[in-house]
Structure formats: C-alpha cells, structure tokens
Structure 1
Amino acid sequence: MKKLAPPCPDSVPTTTRVRWQRIQRRANIARVLELLQGYDEQPMRLSELCRQAGVSERTLRSIFQEVFGVGPNRYLHIRRLHRVRAALSIASPDTETVNRIALRFGFSDQGRMAADYHRLFGEYPSATLMRSLF
C-alpha cells in the first residue's frame, strides 16, 4: 500500500490539515486492527506492530489513547484475555485445561492471567471453562 505524503503545512488551511490528520489516524488504526487479525493466538509485541503498520510507537500510543481510551499494550492485553475467554467458552472441560489455553495465547504467568481475567470478566477462567458450550 502506497503512503501519501501529507501536504505542506504552510499552504493548507488548519481545518484541512486537521481533517487530513483524522484520515491518517483512521487509516493507521484500520491497518493495525487488520494486522492483529493474523495474530489471534500469538502475543504481538508493540515494536513489531509499529514496524508492520509503518507508524511510530508515539503515534500508535496517541491513536490508541484517542480511539480506545487505553494505550496499545493494555489494548493488546485485554484483546488476548478476550481470546482466552472465547477459547474457554467453547472448550471441553474433559480435554482442555485453563493452563493449556492460557499458554496458547501467550500467558506464562497463570496467576496473573487469572487475576486479570477475573477483574475484567467478574469470574475466574476455570468457571468459564466449566460452563463451556461443549
């Protein structure tokens, strides 16, 4: 995808410049979210995400704060917790474990993951697994 160079700031009215910045931010966030689709079960490092999206870390932090109200690392962490929850809700408690599913999504500290999961969803991962759809 070819990037367009921003117009010269001195020759463009402020409203046009602001509009251009909004368009760029939307394009950047769309590109980042599209990239994340390929990383459903792998944790993605912020530096790698910036590199692949072609944006600086500062720009990415600013965009995430503006769009989602949290920084990109927090967003990525919450996203992984949602992926764990989805996997737990369709897993069979007879054949799967919380530990195995958490590891699949890059969580190596099971205690911290369970505490974060409980804070976000109001239940522990084991409870989600026990009432799974399976």
Structure 2
Amino acid sequence: MREQNIGLPVVEGGIVFLGNRRPTMRAFKMAGRNCVITRMHVPQAYTAYNVPDPNWITLHIPLTWSGDYVFDGYQVSEGDAFLADCLNGYSTAGENRDAITLGATREAIESAMRSMNGGCDSSFEFGASIIQPSTVLLQAVAGQIHAAMEVERSLGARQELHFMPEVAERDFIDVLAMEFRSAESANAVTRGLSRRAVDVVAEARQLTLAHSSSVPSLSEICAITRVGQTRLFECFQEVHGLAPYKCLMAFRLSAARERLTDKDNPPHSVKQVALETGFTKSGRFAECFLRQFGELPSEVLNQTQNEALMNT
C-alpha cells in the first residue's frame, strides 16, 4: 500500500488481504498539479481504508468485482460512485475488485464551480454521498488513461506515475466540477453506514498502530472511543467485516510487511520489526505472519535486503 500511494495525495492507508496468499495489486496512476486518476485492481479478497489529504476531494468509482463489494458499509450496486469527504477517510472491502479513484484539490474544484455559476462567491458542501457518474465523466477518464498509455508505448517503458499535461488537466477538472455540481444540485443523500462507525474504527486503528510497542487492549480501546464491546464489534463488522481483535492484528501484520519490504530503508532484523509492531515474541510474530501471508517474515526480509543490495 505504501508503494501504491507514492505520488498520490494520501495521508494514510492500509490494506488487509484475506486468505493465505502473497499480496498482489496492479495500479495505474496519473497526476497533475490539481488532480489525480488512479485505477487499481486487487485480485484477492481484502479490506482496506484510505485517508485522503484534507485539501482534496475524492470520487471512488467501482467498475467490476466478484461477490460482494462494500464501501463504508454500503453494499455497492452497478453504477454507484462514492464522493468521500471525511477526516477519517473511507473503507472498502471486496474481492477481484477493479476501481477508479479520482481526486482533485478543493481549491481547483471550487474555482471551476464558481466559474460555472458566473463567478459568484458561492460556498459548496460536498460531504459524503452516493452518485451516478455520467457518461461524460467516464469518457473523460478513459480518454486521459488512453492518452497516457499512448505516451508510454511511444517511450517504450512502463511508467510508475504518468503526468497529466496542464491543458488536459484543466479540461478534466471542468468535467469533474460539472459532475460535483450536478450531484450537489440533485441533493445526493448518503446511505448505509453511519459515520460514527467509521470514526470509532479509525480511532481504534490509530490507537493500535500509533502505540505499537504497547498495544492497547479492547477494554482500553472501548474506554477511549466511548463505546461498549458490543458496539465496537458492530462497528468493525460494518466497516471491515472482521472482529476487532482479528482486524487490528491484521493491520499490525500488514504494517510489519510494509516495513519488511521497504527497500529504501530495510530493517536490520525480523525481531526489530516484530517489536516495532507490538509483538514481544518473535516466534508468535512469525506464526501469525505466516498464517496471514503464506510466507515467513525472514523470507520477506531476505528478499528485500537482496534487492536493496542489487540496487546499490
């Protein structure tokens, strides 16, 4: 997840892969000064969260998936898109999911929307809502991706991050602003999950990951989030589809794997990573890691260290 978020306006993000397999993701990323387009395919079953930069507005468009697909506790239907604007970000869960996420700075979107209103000094409330993306927007996204792939083919090399020309970006922001304006005028209503559940889970996750050397107990989490254990369980089920302990353990293990695969600053030992992520016993850490990812942490670290040596 760390590598996938490079170049994107993301403050924080995490993903848990469900099933004993090596994690895989494929992503296309394109960015200008004021907007980004990402398309990401996650083959495995997973649950995740993302916290965008607060100066940006995000539109998430699910394309295809297998079985159930859930966004902030809401069961996604074909044609749904999700305008996300919350301090604690948003959660997603599904399998074999292919989705597009669009981001734009508030300043650029509001400027474009004011121009459409004849320059009136209007204020805009975006909030969190479910909208139906227009054909014009989807065609604009497809056009931007196609143009980037044509450039990539002409260069003869795969690009990790494509750059959007200024003129193309300006046109795209106008299309996106028109979409948001239509959604606002249609008084789109948020359905499904209450934001309180997202906030409770985000606070519990932040407590666990921020104090990894002394992981709080569920009773301590309940006291700080001001909910009972039954409500805590309900919130985690709504947001991630997992029980609190299992979910928080999985995010700790995912954070450990991110650290073990950091080729720019590889850790010295598995024990170091275990302690950093709240595991006092290396054997217990290795057992849990193997169960979640299908490989030992020592194997992952050896591969990272070898790759780091090859790149020096």
Fold-level match, TM-score > 0.5? yes
Residues of 2 paired with 1:28 and 1:51: CA distance? 15
Identity over aligned pairs, percent? 33
For the 8 Å contact 2:203–2:225, the answer to whether it is kept is no
1:105-125 deviations in Å (ceiling 9; x for gaps)? 110121121111111111110
Structure-1 residue corresponding to 2:225:
53
> Secondary structure at the residue paired with 1:131?
helix
Residues of 1 paired with 2:254 and 2:211: CA distance? 11
Residues of 2 paired with 1:20 and 1:55: CA distance? 23
Structure-1 residue corresponding to 2:251:
79
Residues of 2 paired with 1:100 and 1:67: CA distance? 31
Q: What's the CA shift for 1:56?
A: 1.0
Structure of higher CA gyration radius: 2
1:5-51 deviations in Å (ceiling 9; x for gaps)? xxxxxxxxxxxxxx99942xx31332431453353451232122222
For the 8 Å contact 1:28–1:55, the answer to whether it is kept is no
Residues of 2 paired with 1:126 and 1:41: CA distance? 24
Residues of 2 paired with 1:66 and 1:31: CA distance? 11
Pairing partner for 1:92 from 259, 262, 266: 266
1:74-107 deviations in Å (ceiling 9; x for gaps)? 11111110111111111436xx100111011110
Residues of 1 paired with 2:191 and 2:293: CA distance? 38
Structure-1 residue corresponding to 2:291:
119
Report 1:20-39 matches (<5 A): 22-23=193-194, 26-37=195-206, 39=209
Residues of 1 paired with 2:204 and 2:197: CA distance? 11
For the 8 Å contact 1:32–1:49, the answer to whether it is kept is no
Residues of 2 paired with 1:85 and 1:21: CA distance? 32
For the 8 Å contact 2:201–2:236, the answer to whether it is kept is no
For the 8 Å contact 1:28–1:53, the answer to whether it is kept is no
For the 8 Å contact 2:270–2:301, the answer to whether it is kept is yes
| Structure 1 stretches of 4+ moved >6 Å | none
Aligned length: 112
Residues of 2 paired with 1:88 and 1:130: CA distance? 9
TM-score when scaled to structure 1?
A: 0.70
- Structure 2 gaps of 5+ residues are 1-189
User: 2:279 matched to 1:107?
Assistant: yes
> Secondary structure at the residue paired with 1:61?
helix
Structure-2 residue corresponding to 1:66:
238
For the 8 Å contact 1:87–1:101, the answer to whether it is kept is yes
For the 8 Å contact 1:40–1:83, the answer to whether it is kept is no
Pairing partner for 2:303 from 127, 131, 134: 131
Q: Which has the higher helix share?
A: 1
Residues of 2 paired with 1:76 and 1:92: CA distance? 24
